[in-house]
Structure 1
Amino acid sequence: MRDVINPLSLPNNAAPMWYRDPGLRALAFPTAIGFGCSISLGYDGSLMNGLLANKFFVSAIDNPDPSKLGLIVAGYTLGGLPALLPASFLADRFGRRVALSIGCLIIVIGGIVQALTTGGWKMFAGRFIVGMGGTFCSISGSAYTAEIAHPRNRAQVAALIQTCWYFGSIIAAWTAFGAGYWNSSWSWRLPCLIQILPPLVQLASMPFIPESPRFLVSKGRVEEAHQVLARYHANGDKQDELVLFELQEIKEALETERTATEGVSYATFFKTAGNRHRLAILIMVGFSSQWVGNGIISYYLVAILESVGMTSPAKQQGFNGGLQIWNWFLAIGGSLCVEWLGRRKLWLTSAIGMFFSFAIIMGCSAAYAEHGLTNAGPAVMAFVFIYFGFYDIAFTGLTLAYPLEILPYSLRTRGMAIMSFCVTCALFFNQYVNPIALAAMRWKYYSIYIVLQALTIMCIYFFYPETKGLLLEEVATVFDGEKAILSAQREGVAADDSKDGSATHLETKDYTEARAV
C-alpha cells in the first residue's frame, strides 16, 4: 500500500485565493444559488415573529386562539413531512437542479397563497405548501452546494450553509419592521410576497449553473462531470491532477456506495453496540436541537417580549431584527471554530451557557410578572441575546455536521432521515404546544426547557465523543473498536489495484465531506 495522498497537495491550476481565480469566482455564483435554500428557510423562520406583532395580520388570520395559532405556525413543519421521500428520490433520479427547481416553484405558489388570501386556515394552507417546497430545497440545495465546492473550500462552505438561515431571517425581520408602519393589509402581505423572491432568482438561474458532478457520474455522464470539475476547479484544464483525483474519488465513492448498501436497512442500527450508540446520538441531536428553548423564542418572541412589558409592535420587530443579525455573526464564528476548538468542547460550552442564560431569563421574567420589577424586563431582553449567542456557536452548525461525521457511509442517508424525522417531530410539538402552554403558564413554562437543557448537558457529556481531526475510519473505531477499520475500508476507503498488486489509499480527512454527499 502506498502512502496516503493528500488531494490538497496535488498540483492544481487555481489561485490560492478564490477571488483571484476566474474559475473559483465563477463557482461563487452556483454556490450562492445553493445558499439561497437556507436563506429561504431562514426567512420563514423569522417571518412569523414579525407578522405576529402586526395587528392587521392577526386580524387577517381571524385572531386565532393559542391552539389554532400553533397549527398555523406549525403548518410549515407539517408540510415538510410528505415531501421528505419524494424530494430525496427526485434529487437522485433527475438531478439536484430539477429537485431544487421543483422546490422553488412550490415555495412561490405557497408564498402567493399566503400573500393574497385571508383567513387562518388559508394561511395554514399557504405555510403547508411553503413547507413542502422548503424540504425539496433543503435536501437538494445542501447536497448541491457541497458537491460543487472546491476541495480547498469545501469544509468552510459546508459549515456556512446553515448560517445562511440567519441571513434570511435578517431580511424577514427588517422587512416586517419596515412594512409594519403601513396602515393597511400590505403591511403583512408584502413580507409574505417577498418570500418568493429568493426562489424566483434561483429558478431564473437554473439554466446558467452546472449540474452536480456526483449526479452526472452516477448517471454515467462521466465526461460532462469531468468538464464541470475542470471548468470550475482548474480553469478548464482537464488534465489537472486535482481534477483527475476528484473524478476518480467520485467514481469510487459511488461504487463503494452500491456495494456498501447491499443488505443494509434501518434495522442495521440495532445490530451492534456502536450503531445503537450512533442511533441514540441521532435522536438526541434531533430533539435537543429544538428542545433547548430556541423553539419558544424563535417562533413566539412577541409573547415573551409582551410578558416583560415590550408591547410596541415596532420595538418588537426591531428587537427581532437585531437578534437575527447577532445570531448570524455568532453562527459564522462558531462554524469557523469547529476544527480548532473541537466538537465536544463547543457542544458543552453551548449547552451550559444556554442553561444559565435561560435560568436568568426565567428568574427575571418571574420578577417582572410577580413583583413588578421594571428593571427585570431589560435583563430578559439582554439575556435572550446571550442565550442565542451560546446556541449559535454549536447547535447551528453541528446539528448537521456532527451526525454526518459519526455515521458510516452505508448508514449515512438513513441516519440523516432518522434525525430529520426527530427534528420535525420536535418542531411540531414546539409550534403547536408552545402558544397554548405560554398562555396558560406564562414564565413558569420556561422551567420545562431548563430541565431539558440539563438533560442535554448530561447527554453531551456522557454520549458525545470527540471527532476533531479524525479520519472516517478513526471515527468508526470510536464507536466500533479496532474491527471498524475493516468495515470502514469496505464502506469508504477507495483502493486501486495496480499491475503489481499494490493499492493506493485515497481516504483523507479533506475528503470526508465529499464522501458524505
Structure 2
Amino acid sequence: MAGGPALSSGGEVRSYEHLLDHRPWYKNKRLILLNFWIVILLVTSSTNGYDGSMMNGLQSLPQWQDAFNHPTGGSLGLLGAIQNIGSLCALPFAPYMADGLGRKSVILWGACLMIIGTILQTASQNVHMFIGARWLIGFGLNFAATGAPMLISELAYPSQRGQITSLYNSLWIFGSFIAAWTTFGTFHIPTSWSWRIPSAIQGFPSVIQLFLIWFVPESPRWLMSKGREEEALKILAYYHAKGNAKDPLVEYEFQEIRTTIQLDREAENSVGWMTLFKTPGNLRRVRIIVAIAFFSQWSGNGLASYYLNKVLDAIGITNPTVQLLINGVLQIYNFIICVFASLWCDKIGRRKLFIISTAGMLVTWILETVCFALYSERGNVAAAHTFIAMIFLFSTFYPLAYSPLIVTYTVEILPYNLRSRGFTLFNFTICLSLIFNQYVNPIALQNIGWKYYTVYIAWLTFELIFICLYLVETKNRTLEETAALFDGDEKVAFISNQATDKVDTTEKRIESTDDKGSL
C-alpha cells in the first residue's frame, strides 16, 4: 500500500507517512475487520454492474424476448434506461438523507428498496410490471450508491484509501461478469426461469447489506460534523490504532478532520447547492466531476455494455450461445484490468492512468470503426473477427481509469461539507448520460449502423484534450489534503500543519514520559 504525502509549506516538508503502520494489512486484525466491513459496502456497486450485463444477456435469451414481445428501438431503449430514470428520481432526496441521517442509514434504505424491486422484477407478468420493478431498483440504488463510496473513503486506513475506494467501482465489473455468466448458465432452461433466476440474483448484494450494515462503523467525519467527537475518536482509534486514542496517527487524523470541518463552517455558514458554483476552487471541482461522469459513459463503452448483442448481430455473429460467451469472457477480462488499476492507482497516479486510458480508447475506437465499416460495406469476414479483437483491446484501456477512478477522484476532491451534494451531481450526470446511451444508442445503431461510430471518434478526441488540460494529480494525500488542493496550497499546508503540530506535541509528551521512566 502507498504511503503518505509530503507537503511543503514555506520550504518545510511535512509528512504523515512515519505515523502509519507499515505492516501488511493482513497481519493487523483490526484492519482485517475494517476491510471486511468495507467489502460489505463495496458490493453496492456490483448491483449496478450486474444490471447492465444482465440486460445485455437477457436480450440474447429467446425466452425473455418472447415474454416481452421482442422489444426493439425505443421500447428496448426504455427497458434499458428505466433503471437510471429511477436513479434520477432519487437524486433530490439522497444527499439530504446522507448528511442528515448518516451514511449507514441511506445505504440501509436503498438496500430495502432494491430488495423489493428485485422481487417484483422476478415475479413480472408483463412488460409494464418489469419496467416498474426496474424503476424501483434504480430509485433504491441511488440511495445506496450515494452513501457507500463516501463511507468507504471516510473509513479507510489512510494509506489504503485510494486503492479501496477505487475497488468500489471495480465491483461494478464484478457484478457485470456474474450476470454475464448467470445468463449464460440459464440459457438452456426452457421456461421463464431462464430470465427470472438472473433477475432474482440481482437482489443478493442488497440482502447481504441488509443483514450486516448494522455492524459497519459510521463515518468519523459525519459523526464529528454532528458534534459526536468522542464516537468518531473511538472509531478511528479502534480500527486505525488498535484502540489507542493517543496514537499519533489517530491524533493527526482527528485534528485534521476537525480543522477541515471548522474551516468549511467558517467559510460558508449555510451550505447549499449554489455553494458548488461560488468559488473558483469549487468551479474547478464541478468542471472535472461533470466531465469525467460524462466521459465514463460516452466513450463508446455503452455500446458494448448494454447492446453488445446488437453490435454482434450487425457484424454477423448471431448465435446466442456465442454472444453470451463473448459477453462473459469480456467481463472477466475487464475485471482483471480494473483490479490491477485500482491497486496501482497510488503508484502510477490518477492523471497518468486517465491519459493512458483515454488515448488508448481513441486509437482502438478508430480501428473498431474501420473494421465495422469494412464488414458492413464489403462483407469482409476477417474485419468482423478483427472487430471482436478490437473490443477486447478497447476493454484493456477503458477500465484502467474510467471504471476504478471516477468515484475515487470525485469523492476525494470534494470537501466534507460539499461531498454529498457534489457526489449527487456526479450521479445525476451519470444518470443523464446513461439514459442517453440506453435510449439513443439502439436507435442510432439501427438507423445509421457503422457511421454512428464516427461520432465517438470526435468525442474521444475532445476527452483526451480535456484530461490533459484540466485533470490534477491527487495521489498519496489524505482525504482532507486532497480536497483542499483546489482551494490553494495555503489551505493544504494549514490543514497539514495543524494536524502535525498536534502530533508533534503528542510525540514530545511521549518522549518526555519515556525519559522520566528511564531515569
TM-score under structure 1 normalisation? 0.87
CA distance 1:399–1:184, change in 2 (3 Å): same
The match for 1:100 among 107, 132, 135 is 107
The match for 2:362 among 344, 355, 380 is 355
Q: What's the counterpart of residue 297 of structure 1?
A: 304
> Could you tell me how far apart the structure 1 residues matched to 2:260 and 2:485 are?
23
Q: Please tell me the residue identity of whatever aligns with 1:129.
A: L
Is the CA contact (8 Å cut-off) linking 2:252 and 2:499 kept in structure 1? no
> Could you tell me how far apart the structure 1 residues matched to 2:330 and 2:304 are?
11
Residues 340-369 of structure 1: CA deviation (Å, up to 9, x unaligned) = 333333222222211121122122122222
Q: Please show how residues 483-494 of structure 1 align to structure 2 within 5 Å.
A: 484-486=488-490
> Could you tell me how far apart the structure 1 residues matched to 2:418 and 2:99 are?
17
The match for 2:183 among 176, 185, 198 is 176
1:419 aligns with 2:419: no
Q: What's the counterpart of residue 373 of structure 1?
A: 380
Q: What's the counterpart of residue 137 of structure 2?
A: 130
1:75 aligns with 2:82: yes
Q: What's the counterpart of residue 437 of structure 2?
A: 430
CA distance 1:197–1:235, change in 2 (3 Å): same
Which deviates the most, 398-407 or 132-141?
398-407
The match for 1:283 among 282, 290, 306 is 290
CA distance 1:147–1:401, change in 2 (3 Å): closer
Is the CA contact (8 Å cut-off) linking 2:253 and 2:499 kept in structure 1? no
Q: Please show how residues 334-345 of structure 1 align to structure 2 within 5 Å.
A: 334-345=341-352
Is the CA contact (8 Å cut-off) linking 1:100 and 1:137 kept in structure 2? yes
Q: What's the counterpart of residue 188 of structure 1?
A: 195
In the TM superposition, what is the alpha-carbon distance from 1:414 to its structure 2 partner?
4.1
1:312 aligns with 2:322: no
The match for 1:148 among 139, 142, 155 is 155
CA distance 1:118–1:328, change in 2 (3 Å): same
> Could you tell me how far apart the structure 1 residues matched to 2:13 and 2:127 are?
60
Q: What's the counterpart of residue 4 of structure 2?
A: none
1:207 aligns with 2:210: no
In the TM superposition, what is the alpha-carbon distance from 1:319 to its structure 2 partner?
0.9
In the TM superposition, what is the alpha-carbon distance from 1:271 to its structure 2 partner?
5.5
Is the CA contact (8 Å cut-off) linking 1:76 and 1:130 kept in structure 2? yes
Q: Please tell me the residue identity of whatever aligns with 1:58.
A: Q
In the TM superposition, what is the alpha-carbon distance from 1:96 to its structure 2 partner?
1.9
> Could you tell me how far apart the structure 1 residues matched to 2:413 and 2:240 are?
29
> Could you tell me how far apart the structure 1 residues matched to 2:489 and 2:102 are?
33
Is the CA contact (8 Å cut-off) linking 1:352 and 1:457 kept in structure 2? yes
In the TM superposition, what is the alpha-carbon distance from 1:272 to its structure 2 partner?
5.8
CA distance 1:66–1:497, change in 2 (3 Å): closer
The match for 1:495 among 498, 501, 510 is 498
What is the aligned length? 496
Residues 367-402 of structure 1: CA deviation (Å, up to 9, x unaligned) = 222212112222111110111211111222332333
1:28 aligns with 2:35: yes
The match for 2:24 among 10, 17, 22 is 17
Q: Please show how residues 76-91 of structure 1 align to structure 2 within 5 Å.
A: 76-91=83-98
Is the CA contact (8 Å cut-off) linking 1:260 and 1:409 kept in structure 2? no
TM-score under structure 2 normalisation? 0.87
The match for 2:402 among 395, 412, 422 is 395
The match for 2:119 among 104, 109, 112 is 112
Residues 48-73 of structure 1: CA deviation (Å, up to 9, x unaligned) = 11111111112222322310110111
Q: Please tell me the residue identity of whatever aligns with 1:235.
A: K
In the TM superposition, what is the alpha-carbon distance from 1:473 to its structure 2 partner?
10
CA distance 1:272–1:208, change in 2 (3 Å): closer
Q: Please tell me the residue identity of whatever aligns with 1:141.
A: A
Task: Report the identity percentage.
Answer: 39
Query: Match of 1:76, SS?
Result: helix
- Aligned CA RMSD, in angstroms, stands at 3.0
In the TM superposition, what is the alpha-carbon distance from 1:183 to its structure 2 partner?
0.9
> Could you tell me how far apart the structure 2 residues matched to 1:120 and 1:256 are?
52
Structure 2 regions of 5+ residues with no counterpart?
1-8, 507-519
Which deviates the most, 225-234 or 467-476?
467-476
Is the CA contact (8 Å cut-off) linking 1:8 and 1:242 kept in structure 2? no
Q: Please tell me the residue identity of whatever aligns with 2:18.
A: S
The match for 2:65 among 44, 58, 62 is 58
Q: What's the counterpart of residue 16 of structure 2?
A: 7
Q: What's the counterpart of residue 267 of structure 2?
A: 260
1:382 aligns with 2:385: no
Is the CA contact (8 Å cut-off) linking 1:52 and 1:58 kept in structure 2? yes
Structure 1 regions of 5+ residues with no counterpart?
505-517
Residues 455-484 of structure 1: CA deviation (Å, up to 9, x unaligned) = 21222233334455678999899867xxx3
In the TM superposition, what is the alpha-carbon distance from 1:412 to its structure 2 partner?
4.7
Is the CA contact (8 Å cut-off) linking 2:357 and 2:398 kept in structure 1? yes
In the TM superposition, what is the alpha-carbon distance from 1:446 to its structure 2 partner?
1.2
Is the CA contact (8 Å cut-off) linking 2:484 and 2:491 kept in structure 1? no
Is the CA contact (8 Å cut-off) linking 1:176 and 1:317 kept in structure 2? yes
